[in-house]
Structure 1
């Protein structure tokens, strides 16, 4: 959609970008909260369930990831969880999923899962992914190192063999983050279009 000009309803009237913003501002206080909030950020949630000997290297990599410069100059947000199960509520609160268009990269780095933890963590992770997906967020779960393939959905199995020490894994992760960044413009334009459609309908009813 061309954001510089927008055809209002079926009357054929066109507005410039400035006029369109003025039109929207008239109805800002009446707009539903999920449309009114344009805040958008990308987040990487990482659960580094790794042996103590490997933690220093993992955290160094996470620092590198946070410092990557994107074209929009906004650093990607990285959240590190030491106890995944206890943080689900905090994650959902932080994302404020009902009112944001968030892109989420959900990552589990592990080399010390016990057999007893597999089933419990699998269902915990699935519950979080379901919650995020229901709120129209983009989720890319990445499992790395020593997870049993039969515990994972088929679409994740090809990622299981990745090792967080491998350059390929790091490159793939960075590429995913970059891809989400590139999708920011499309998501913002879609939100803007939905705002305009709502404002036009509200204007016509009142």
Structure 2
């Protein structure tokens, strides 16, 4: 049975050495068991980690999974601010593809896909997608401020125009997402949302 954080215990900043030991273990567990069957206790046992230490720093399994998923979000935010909508869309596509082309990125993305045979951990997935969306939406928000968006653009749909093709390609193929594909996706998104 999965434990939960005691109510009086506060989550504290994770020291770099502990993060360096725990994050690869989290990704390994997710690759083997997915989100539904991910367990802090099983992770700790298989990777010789202290479950109490994990709960002290992350609080619960959801925070641990989402923290692992969002390891590259700060880099994503800064890499996608090029000064123009077209440039930002291409930078976003390239950065997402770079992560997805890595073994860790591909494995993690696939681990978030719902397993039809088990209980779906929808709340954990939604925490991940909300956190990621809040960063990625910066591309659309900046374009809006610069007057580059056509009227009536739905922010969620605009972001999904870029992310969906990249994610689908990674989920259904082991082939790398190349730069030509990134350019095609960014161009399609630009034509869909840019003020002409």
> TM-score, structure 1 length as denominator?
0.22
Higher helix share: 2
Pair member with larger Rg: 1
> TM-score, structure 2 length as denominator?
0.23
